[in-house]
């Protein structure tokens, strides 16, 4: 009996050491990769924001682009994982490079952009001036609220490819990720308007975005005055009726985070239903990193989307913390293990300095297919932070 107990103890210790090793090993790798990305992104006073690695080239984004906050956010996570002020200094530089975007009103993604950069900076360093940036950005996002429909409009329809789709007031599932900015602004300012807008948007999303199997449409087009649904479409998925993998991941993460921000059970219930759709899906591969669309016609040869896998991992650690259901920890750990394997994680010195390979940005547009994306890296590092913190407890 004593021997048995000893071996059980040994197994637990080994398992725990293994868990920590995977975080440590990823941090070691990320120091090399992000260190090299820093070298190309900071030249004198000029800051460039790395967004992807495609066809052998590092691409950079404008400040106004939806992915502009992720690199700063990854640097903040490196600070959190290492405690090394080197990363905080660079994170601060990249964050403050985004100062002007607090006034951005031309699309909904300001929640991602400010949350990843200023949000993490405030959380980790308590920098007082960042509070004002967050509240100002929330005001900018609130200009996109359409009270008649009870939603925040995601995209404008007056130019580019969007003007050709015949939409009036498109809302995409991704928009759930922007609500955190509003909840935070209410906490910082005491103004409950932001909170109410976020709750209204989340409730309308539950009402209108989901199919009976709890997969989500990508785009719902509304009449902004009456709230009538004009179209149910996709922009980045395989088909209007298909389940675009990153969209499902945004829904899972977005409702989990909205539950954390409100404590309203209906949001947790929604997140759990989305999780059921994802983890019971017959097209979800054994390593849990999804194909870019659960209904892609060429499965099992379809491209994977590591970014969706990283978002799912991060959301599942939160769901474990909330529900204490080991199912979610197992799924998150499996995703981290898969993404840390040579199948997805780039060798140091390759992949332009990005951590993960094999993500898909916009398959139908032929843009960024099977590439490295800065948001895949951001959510992967976030998952590592959450894993580390959970296991420390």
CB of 249 to ligand GLY, least distance (A): 9
* Interaction between residue 246 and ligand GLY (CB under 6 A): yes
**Burial bucket for residue 324 (CB in 10 Å: 0-12, 13-18, 19+):** exposed
Region of 55 (left: φ > 0; alpha: ψ -120 to 50; beta: rest) is left
Q: Assess whether 109 carries a catalytic annotation.
A: yes
CB of 177 to ligand GLY, least distance (A): 7
Catalytic-role residue among 109, 293, 295, 377: 109
CB of 66 to ligand GLY, least distance (A): 6
Q: What is the largest CA-CA distance in the chain?
A: 73
Site for ligand GLY in 280-339 (CB under 6 A): none
In the three-class reduction of DSSP (H, G, I as helix; E, B as strand; rest coil), residue 70 is classed as helix
* Interaction between residue 209 and ligand GLY (CB under 6 A): no
* Interaction between residue 108 and ligand GLY (CB under 6 A): no
CB of 361 to ligand GLY, least distance (A): 6
Six-digit token string for 302: 């379809």
Catalytic-role residue among 116, 174, 293, 377: 174
Q: How many CB atoms sit inside 10 A of residue 125's CB?
A: 15
* Interaction between residue 233 and ligand GLY (CB under 6 A): no
Question: Which CB sits closer to ligand GLY, 130 or 379?
Answer: 379
Question: Which CB sits closer to ligand GLY, 68 or 186?
Answer: 68
Site size with ligand GLY, rule: CB under 6 A:
5
In the three-class reduction of DSSP (H, G, I as helix; E, B as strand; rest coil), residue 244 is classed as strand
Q: Which residue has the CB atom at the shortest distance from ligand GLY?
A: 174
Residue 25 to residues 15, 55, 317, Cα–Cα distance (Å): 15, 27, 19
Q: Assess whether 21 carries a catalytic annotation.
A: no
* Interaction between residue 174 and ligand GLY (CB under 6 A): yes
Which residue has tokens 């409009």?
Answer: 153
| Cα–Cα distance for residue pair 25/140, rounded to 1 Å | 40
Nearest to 325 by CA among 229, 256, 254, 222: 256
| Cα–Cα distance for residue pair 15/260, rounded to 1 Å | 29
Tell me the per-residue interface mask from 28 to 67 with ligand GLY, x by CB under 6 A, - otherwise.
--------------------------------------x-
* Interaction between residue 116 and ligand GLY (CB under 6 A): no
In the three-class reduction of DSSP (H, G, I as helix; E, B as strand; rest coil), residue 188 is classed as helix
Question: Which CB sits closer to ligand GLY, 247 or 333?
Answer: 247
Q: How far apart are the first and last CA of the chain?
A: 29
CB of 236 to ligand GLY, least distance (A): 6
Do residues 219 and 166 make contact, with C-beta atoms less than 8 angstroms apart?
no
Question: Which CB sits closer to ligand GLY, 236 or 281?
Answer: 236
Contacts with ligand GLY, residue ranges (CB under 6 A) = 66, 174, 236, 246, 361
Known catalytic residues are: 109, 174
């Amino acid at each position: 009996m004593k021997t048995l107990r000893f071996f059980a103890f040994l197994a637990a210790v080994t398992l725990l050491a293994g868990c920590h090793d995977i975080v440590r090993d990823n941090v070691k790798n990320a120091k090399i990769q992000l260190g090299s990305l820093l070298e190309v992104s900071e030249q004198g006073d000029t800051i460039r924001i790395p967004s992807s690695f495609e066809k052998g080239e590092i691409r950079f984004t404008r400040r106004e682009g939806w992915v502009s906050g992720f690199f700063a956010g990854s640097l903040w996570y490196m600070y959190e994982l290492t405690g090394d002020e080197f990363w905080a200094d660079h994170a601060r530089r990249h964050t403050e490079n985004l100062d002007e975007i607090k006034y951005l009103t031309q699309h909904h993604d300001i929640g991602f952009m400010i949350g990843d950069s200023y949000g993490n900076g405030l959380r980790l360093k308590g920098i007082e001036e960042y509070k004002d940036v967050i509240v100002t950005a929330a005001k900018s996002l609130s200009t996109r609220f359409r009270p008649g429909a009870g939603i925040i409009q995601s995209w404008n329809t007056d130019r580019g490819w969007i003007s050709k789709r015949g939409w009036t007031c498109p809302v995409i599932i991704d928009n759930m990720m922007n609500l955190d900015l509003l909840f935070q602004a209410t906490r910082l300012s005491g103004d409950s308007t932001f909170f109410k807008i976020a709750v209204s948007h989340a409730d309308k999303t539950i009402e209108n975005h989901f199919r009976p199997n709890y997969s989500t449409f990508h785009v719902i087009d509304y009449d902004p005055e009456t709230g009538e649904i004009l179209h149910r479409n996709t922009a980045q998925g395989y088909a209007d009726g298909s389940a675009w993998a990153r969209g499902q991941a945004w829904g899972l993460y977005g409702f989990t985070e909205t539950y954390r921000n409100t404590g309203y059970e209906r949001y947790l219930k929604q997140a759990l239903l989305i999780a059921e759709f994802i983890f019971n899906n017959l097209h979800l591969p054994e390593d849990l990193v999804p194909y870019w669309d659960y209904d892609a016609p060429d499965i099992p040869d379809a491209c994977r989307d590591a970014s969706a896998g990283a978002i799912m991992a991060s959301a599942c650690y939160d769901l474990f913390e909330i529900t204490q259901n080991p199912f979610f920890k197992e799924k998150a750990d499996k995703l981290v293990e898969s993404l840390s394997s040579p199948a997805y994680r780039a060798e140091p010195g390759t992949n332009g300095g990005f951590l993960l390979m094999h993500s898909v940005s916009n398959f139908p547009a032929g843009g960024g297919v099977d590439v490295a994306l800065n948001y895949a890296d951001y959510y992967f590092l976030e998952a590592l932070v959450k894993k580390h913190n959970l296991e420390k407890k």
